[in-house]
Structure 1
Amino acid sequence: MILNVRGNTCVAMKQGTDDLAALEEAFGLPQKFIDGLINEDDWSLIIKSHALLESACSGMLCHYFGKYELIDIFAHLDMSNKKYGKIAFISALKLLSKAERRFISELSELRNMLVHNASNVTFSLENYFSNATKEKQERYHSALNLRLKKISTKTEVIEGVNLLIKEPKSVIWSSLTQCLSSIYIQDIFSIKRNELISDALKKIKSARPIEIKKEDIPLTVGSKSFASLTRDGIKPAP
Structure 2
Amino acid sequence: MTDTNGKDAADQAVADLERELGLPKGFFNGLVHEDDWSFVIKLHALFESALAFVVAHKLGEKVAGIIGRLDMNGQRGKVAFARALEIVGDDEVRFLALLSSLRNRCVHGVRQTVEFSLPGYVEALSRDERKSFLRAVRGDEPDRRITIGDKTVSHTQFVLENPKLSIWLSSMWLLAALYMLKEIEDHVRRRERALIELATLKTPPAPNPLLIALSGKAGDSGGLMGFAAPDGDKG
TM-score, structure 1 normalization = 0.70
Look up the match of 2:10. 17
CA RMSD of aligned residues (A): 2.9
Look up the match of 2:225. none
Map Cα deviations across residues 87-126 of structure 1 (whole Å, 9 max, x no partner). Answer: 1121122112321221112111111222242221120110
After the TM superposition, which of the residue ranges 94-103 and 140-149 deviates more from structure 2? 140-149
1:204: how far off?
7.2
Map Cα deviations across residues 197-232 of structure 1 (whole Å, 9 max, x no partner). Answer: 4455667788559xxxxxxxxxxxxxxxxxxxxxxx
CA contact (8 A) 1:23 1:184 kept: yes
- Is 1:92 the counterpart of 2:92 in the alignment? no
Structure 2: segments with no counterpart, 5+ residues: 1-5, 208-235
Distance of 1:174 and 1:86 partners within structure 2: 22
Distance of 1:61 and 1:131 partners within structure 2: 35
Look up the match of 2:126. 133
1:39: how far off?
0.7
Look up the match of 1:121. 113
Look up the match of 1:152. 148
Cα 1:85/1:165, change in 2 over 3 Å: same
Look up the match of 1:42. 36
- Is 1:30 the counterpart of 2:24 in the alignment? yes
Distance of 1:163 and 1:37 partners within structure 2: 19
Distance of 1:34 and 1:69 partners within structure 2: 28
Distance of 1:46 and 1:151 partners within structure 2: 27
**Counting helix residues as a fraction of each chain, which structure ranks higher?**
2
CA contact (8 A) 1:63 1:191 kept: no
**In the TM superposition, what are the counterparts of 1:53-72 in structure 2 within 5 Å?**
53-65=47-59, 67-72=60-65
Structure 1: segments with no counterpart, 5+ residues: 1-12, 210-238
* Counterpart pick for 2:161 among 154, 159, 166: 166
Distance of 1:151 and 1:40 partners within structure 2: 25
